[in-house]
């Protein structure tokens, strides 16, 4: 009898476990991760809908005391892992109208050489058989050979479209850098494919590509564009030249910006010379190499050491008895001290605030052009508006440097964002909400527009209550961490940021930190 009851109990428990197992299997059928990511990062809530928490994941920011070595590997951005991409995620039935992308170039060869050491042995030609590789690398190489059919502004036509030296030249893009941006482009293609962002017969004006006059930025831009638009039609493409790394166009003259930069550099110098461990480390490294510490510091050894780390190469060594040096190898511990000081410098930079003032003036011209583009696209969708011939800038790609992306992040108020790694990307998306699901009465729209700096009830005018922006950094949605949308009503009907917030920020509010009302006022006003 006892055995029989035990048997019945086991049957019942087995049935319950089977039901639970089936339930879990069913739950796992629901897709919950963003494009290209295997599993969500801690703190993210999956899915889509009208809850902000479901649209805005928690961004990865610096730890209170980050490990310098781990941080450095993150900076390398080695393309050997799955990558998340929250681009293209929105509440149901929202229409994606425009995407503006700013990137940092991919992995490059060092800009500086450490005296008396051998340069890193890296091949900068491209080979699909060499790692890291990418499924599109071979076709990308072939497509770049047809680049003569494109239009290149200024001196861009004289730059190589592919890295091509078996022994890399200073600052040259590596195969790793090309693969990083092929992956970026592929991620964006997957993210935006279902939104049909670009028509198959896109016009020259609808795809805007701009780059500085460096081969590494041009080649990075081409790699991302090819990943995004494989085998694009060269005859429809114009590559525009930005002569300044700040992408400031005709608005580069700004005396106050230069003053803030000089003050920031003095702050940086004072912090560095006060670091006794850093000075002792430089002295030890110089002793090993037989160099004066001042000469070693001027050679910026961290740039070369990062290249060794990112490519898995041993740190430089010199033979004992060479000149005045004691001989030996530079060490990971020495590298860690320099990176530690750089991370502490970033914390002090935020505390003092000089860099933020510089960043606002450095990036306003680019942000203003971005705002104007988004507003033009928004107005093009106003009821009764006839589309302009050739359309608007639906996809814009700006290929730049760390000195471009870093101030952009600071100006947007993303002070806690990690320093721009190789192949970093900042994305601005413009969304239109469906009128049928807005759920807003006129009074609600007016209230929202007033808070956003938009006059009157302009939700039907192209840049009012039905137009929204998102900002993403390396695939993470950081919209509600920006200055212009940090205080946006968390209970608003739409879990996105009104376009009016962004327009008001760029045209006036971003100058509050400078006690000014405009770019011209902030640049030229004399202070006591």
Predicted confidence (pLDDT) per residue in 340-370, tens digit? 999 999 999 999 999 999 999 999 999 999 9
Verify that 120 and 188 share a domain, yes or no: yes
- Domain boundaries, position 261: 256-351
DSSP string of 178-197, one letter each residue: HHHHHHHHHHHHHHHGGGT-
Verify that 155 and 287 share a domain, yes or no: no
Least confident of 7-21, 147-161, 203-217, 414-428: 7-21
The confidence score (pLDDT) of residue 447 equals: 45
The confidence score (pLDDT) of residue 400 equals: 98
HEC profile for 118-152?
A: CCCCCCCCCCCCCCCCCCCHHHHHHHHCCHHHCEE
The confidence score (pLDDT) of residue 440 equals: 43
Query: Residue 120 pLDDT more than 80?
Result: yes
Domain end among 299, 326, 351: 351
Residue 366 lies in a domain: yes
Query: Residue 138 pLDDT more than 80?
Result: yes
> Annotated catalytic residue: which of 123, 275, 345, 402?
402
Verify that 301 and 420 share a domain, yes or no: no
DSSP string of 287-338, one letter each residue: HHHT--HHHHHHT-HHHHHHHHHHTTPPPPEE-TTSTT---EE--HHHHHHH
Verify that 101 and 235 share a domain, yes or no: yes
pTM for this one? 0.84
Residue 499 lies in a domain: no
Q: Over range 441-465, report the average pLDDT.
A: 45
Is 308 annotated in the active site?
no
Query: Residue 430 pLDDT more than 70?
Result: yes
Verify that 149 and 260 share a domain, yes or no: no
> Annotated catalytic residue: which of 105, 181, 364, 401?
105
Verify that 205 and 321 share a domain, yes or no: no
Verify that 87 and 161 share a domain, yes or no: yes
The CATH number linked to 228 is 3.40.50.1240
**Of residues 253 and 92, more confidently modeled:** 253
The confidence score (pLDDT) of residue 341 equals: 97
**Of residues 456 and 168, more confidently modeled:** 168
Is 275 annotated in the active site?
no
Total structural domains within the chain? 2
Verify that 327 and 372 share a domain, yes or no: no
The confidence score (pLDDT) of residue 180 equals: 98
Domain end among 412, 432, 452: 432
Indicate the average pLDDT of the chain: 84
Verify that 342 and 220 share a domain, yes or no: no
**Of residues 526 and 15, more confidently modeled:** 526
Residue 38 lies in a domain: no
Residue 296 Cα distances to 211, 309, 314, 323, 338, angstroms: 32, 19, 19, 15, 13
In the chain, DSSP finds a helix count (H) and a strand count (E) of 16, 11
Verify that 193 and 117 share a domain, yes or no: yes
3-state secondary structure of 34: coil
Domain end among 292, 325, 351: 351
Verify that 235 and 380 share a domain, yes or no: yes
What is the percent of the chain where pLDDT is above 90?
A: 72
**Of residues 343 and 389, more confidently modeled:** 343
């Amino acid at each position: 009898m006892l055995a029989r009851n035990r048997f019945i109990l086991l049957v019942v428990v087995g049935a319950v476990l089977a039901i639970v197992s089936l339930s879990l299997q069913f739950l796992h059928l629901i897709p919950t991760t963003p494009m290209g990511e295997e599993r969500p990062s801690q703190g993210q809530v999956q899915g889509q809908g009208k809850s902000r928490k479901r649209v805005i994941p928690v961004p990865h920011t610096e730890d209170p005391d980050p490990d310098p070595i781990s941080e450095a590997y993150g900076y390398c951005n080695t393309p050997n892992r799955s990558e998340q991409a929250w681009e293209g995620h929105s509440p149901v039935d929202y229409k994606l109208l425009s995407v503006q992308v700013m990137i940092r170039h991919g992995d490059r060869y060092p800009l500086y050489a450490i005296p008396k050491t051998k340069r890193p042995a890296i091949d900068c030609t491209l080979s699909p058989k060499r790692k890291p590789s990418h499924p599109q690398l071979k076709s990308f190489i072939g497509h770049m050979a047809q680049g003569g059919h494109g239009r290149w502004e200024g001196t861009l036509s004289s730059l190589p479209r592919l890295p091509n030296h078996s022994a890399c030249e200073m600052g040259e893009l590596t195969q790793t850098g090309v693969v990083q941006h092929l992956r970026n482009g592929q991620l964006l293609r997957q993210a935006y494919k279902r939104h049909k962002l670009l028509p198959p017969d896109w016009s020259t004006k609808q795809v805007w590509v701009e780059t500085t006059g460096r081969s590494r930025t041009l080649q990075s831009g081409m790699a991302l564009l090819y990943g995004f638009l494989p085998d694009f039609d060269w005859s429809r493409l114009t590559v525009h030249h930005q002569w300044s790394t700040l992408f400031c166009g005709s608005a580069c003259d700004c005396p106050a910006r230069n003053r803030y930069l000089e003050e920031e550099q003095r702050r940086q110098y004072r912090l560095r010379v006060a670091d006794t461990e850093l000075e002792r480390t430089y002295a030890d490294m110089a002793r090993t190499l037989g160099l004066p510490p001042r000469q070693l510091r001027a050679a910026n050894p961290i740039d070369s050491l990062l290249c060794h780390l990112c490519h898995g190469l041993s740190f430089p060594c010199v033979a004992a008895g060479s000149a005045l040096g004691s001989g030996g190898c530079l060490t990971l511990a020495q590298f860690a001290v320099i990176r530690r000081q750089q991370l502490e410098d970033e914390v002090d930079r935020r505390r003092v605030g000089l860099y933020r003032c510089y960043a606002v003036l450095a990036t306003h011209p680019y942000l203003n052009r971005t705002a104007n583009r988004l507003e033009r696209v928004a107005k093009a969708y106003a009821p009764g508006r006839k589309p302009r011939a050739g359309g608007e800038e639906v996809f814009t790609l700006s290929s730049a440097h760390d000195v471009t992306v870093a101030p952009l992040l600071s100006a947007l108020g993303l002070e806690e964002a990690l320093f721009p790694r190789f192949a970093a990307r900042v994305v601005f998306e413009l969304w239109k909400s469906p009128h049928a699901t807005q759920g807003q009465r006129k009074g609600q729209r007016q209230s929202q527009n007033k808070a956003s700096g938009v006059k009157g009830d302009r939700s039907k005018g192209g840049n009012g209550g039905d137009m929204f922006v998102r900002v993403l950094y390396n695939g993470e949605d950081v919209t509600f961490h920006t200055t212009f949308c940090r205080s946006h009503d968390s209970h608003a009907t739409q879990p996105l940021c009104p376009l009016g917030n962004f327009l008001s920020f760029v045209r006036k509010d971003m100058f509050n930190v400078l006690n000014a009302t405009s770019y011209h006022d902030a640049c030229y006003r004399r202070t006591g």
